Amino acid sequence: MTNISQQAQFSLINPRSFTPIRTILLMGALWAVILALAPISIYRSDQLYPYLLLGISFAALLAGLALFEPRSVPTITMDPEERRRMLRSLYRIAFILGALGILMRLGDWILLRGLQIDMDFLENREKIESAGSSAMSMASTLLVPFSLTPYIIYAVARRNGDKVGKAWQSLGLALLWPALTIIIGSRSMMMMSLGMLFIARMTIFPRTSKLIVWTCVIGGLVLVYLGGLIFLERLTQVGLKPEGVMKLSSFTKLAPVTSEYYRLTASASEVWRNTIFIFTTFSQYYVHGVPEFVYQIEHYSGADQWGAYTFNVFGRASAALWGVPYDPSVLNLPPRLGVYTTLFGPFYIDFGPLVPISGFLLGAAISWTRRCVLRGDIGALSLYIAFTMQIIMCVAINGILAAYGIFYTSAFAAFWLGSVMLRRRPRRSLAATGPRPAYAAPG
């Protein structure tokens, strides 16, 4: 049997850093601050029901997140050698899967679709959309999320005094995908990937200096600015002016700019005018989900889809693989297309007035995943970080449906299942051969 003296404490995250409940409250407060500061207004309804449903849904989500929260953080012990062996195995598997996903995505983009490594976002997007799906693109979509996992495992090893992988190697792989999303001008996918990387850094490492925190904050602001510049470049490519986008873009209709915006930009320099534009469009982008949800509740009169809308990717996959009937028109059900409607907008298409129940069940699933992480289940950690990122976005968008969210969730859930099976293999072998002594004195 394993000697008790060989056991060492083992933990995965800082239990009080970036908790889902605190994150929702923080992002809700940020939503209110942005609305107060930005030169925009939002659509308001005369009906109470949409606001009541949204409030109850958020309350149900918070209740679900608290459901499995442990009263005290358990102390986990593990044999150090077994821990290192497990971390190294998971690191190698995740690195191979992530690198393969990136290579397959590049192959699909460049060899099959003819994308150019340049800033012609519109042309690149048209090539991706016009070519449809291929076996390579479908496989790469499920493998790309694993490019983040090696850094997570590296961070866990560092947290527990082990050395698994290299910082430059794991971080470089994690940064490859968000860098590649620039080719197609996708701000949401870039923010999703970098956001999860930031969450991993803040929650796993036992101590984070103020310098790193401020570097991440400033880096985030720079990324928002760069994302705005990407958006401006996309406008230039289609021959639109920023002022026209303020009126024509779908996400600005229910969160329009006020006269204050035009007053601020009337005599401003180009740099200052671009800065105001970027801040304002980011504000519209982040704030518009709530008024869009309210509008959707008022105008959607279709039947409940019971998951066919939010989880449509599984319907499409079933149709492609096994010929299961799938109706693509389900994606056109919302009264306004091309907009975000908070976490709960897609759920309303699926479940109607039962949206609070879906929010509670999602919160409970996240709470259970967090509980497993606190108990030392490293296989669940990547999924927990993805869930946390989706919760950060919930005031604005449904992170499951948007920004590759469903693929991150599916891939990391499969990784969790695979890690459980990997851990059970030695146990079955041990049961068949008998226990092996942890230490044998030389004869």
Does some domain include residue 228?
A: no
How many structural domains are present in the chain? 1
Domain range for 420: 13-75+288-424
pLDDT, residue 115, reads: 62
In a domain, 209, yes or no: no
Q: What is the pTM of this model?
A: 0.86
On the CB side of 39, CA atoms within 13 Å amount to: 15
* CA 74 from centroid of its chain's CA atoms: 27
Cα(158)–Cα(178) distance, rounded to whole angstroms?
24
Q: Does residue 266 come out as left (phi exceeding 0), alpha (psi in the -120 to 50 range) or beta?
A: alpha
Closest C-alpha to 185, from 249, 147, 236: 236
CA angle, corner 320, sides to 318 and 322, nearest 5? 55
* Phi and psi, residue 283, nearest 5°: -65, -45
Query: Distance between CA atoms of 209 and 226, rounded to whole angstroms?
Result: 25
Longest dimension (CA), the chain: 88
Cα 433 to Cα 425: distance, rounded to the nearest angstrom: 12
User: Are the CB atoms for 22 and 202 separated by under 8 Å?
Assistant: no
Residue 349 lies in a domain: yes
**Residue at 380 is within a domain:** yes
SS (H, E, C) the chain: CCCHHHCEECCCCCCCCCCHHHHHHHHHHHHHHHHHHCCECCCCCCCCHHHHHHHHHHHHHHHHHHHCCCCCCCCCEECHHHHHHHHHHHHHHHHHHHHHHHHHHHHHHHHHCCCCCCCCHHHHHHHHHHHCCCHHHHHHHHHHHHHCHHHHHHHHHHHCCCCCCCHHHHHHHHHHHHHHHHHHCCHHHHHHHHHHHHHHHHHHCCCCCHHHHHHHHHHHHHHHHHHHHHHHHHHHHCCCCHHHHHHHCHHHCCCCECHHHHHHHCCCCHHHHHHHHHHHHHHHHHHCHHHHHHHHHHHCCCCCCCCCCCCHHHHHHHHHHHCCCCCHHHHHCCCCCCCCCCCHHHHHHHHHHHHHHHHHHHHHHHHHHHHHHHCCCHHHHHHHHHHHHHHHCCCCCCCCCCCCHHHHHHHHHHHHHHHHHHHHHHHHHHHHHCCCCCCCCCC
Instruction: Flag whether 53 is in a domain.
Output: yes
Within a domain: residue 131?
no
The per-residue pLDDT for 1 is 44
Cα–Cα dist 398/218, whole Å: 26
C-alpha separations of 62 from 17, 40, 124, 351, 378 in Å = 17, 29, 40, 19, 24
CB atoms near residue 278 (< 10 Å):
19
Q: Which residues contact 142 (CB under 8 A, 6 or more apart)?
A: 101, 407, 410, 411
- pLDDT at site 426: 54
65, part of any domain: yes
How far is the C-alpha of 398 from the C-alpha of 401, rounded, in Å?
6
Tokens of 114: 């003819």
Q: Of 188, 205, 198, nearest to 403 (Cα)? A: 188
pLDDT digits (tens), the chain, 443 positions: 444 445 667 788 888 888 999 999 999 999 999 999 999 999 999 999 999 999 999 999 999 999 999 888 777 777 778 888 888 999 999 999 999 999 988 887 777 666 665 545 555 555 555 545 667 777 888 899 999 999 999 999 998 888 888 889 999 999 988 888 776 656 677 788 888 998 998 899 887 778 877 888 888 788 778 777 777 776 776 677 777 777 777 888 999 999 898 888 888 888 888 889 889 988 998 999 999 999 999 999 888 899 999 998 888 878 877 878 888 888 889 999 889 999 999 999 999 999 999 999 999 999 999 999 999 899 999 999 999 999 998 999 998 887 778 989 999 999 999 888 877 765 544 444 444 443 333 33
In a domain, 181, yes or no: no
Find, among 264, 260, 289, 263, the residue nearest to 275 by Cα: 264
| Adjacent-strand bridge partners of 77 | 9
Residue with tokens 């449906």: 401
pLDDT value at position 433?
47
Contact 191, 403 (CB under 8 A): yes
Q: Which two tokens stand for residue 70?
A: 């442990």
Q: What is the pLDDT of residue 77?
A: 74
For residue 56, what pLDDT is reported? 97
Rounded to whole angstroms, the Cα distance separating 260 from 282 reads: 16
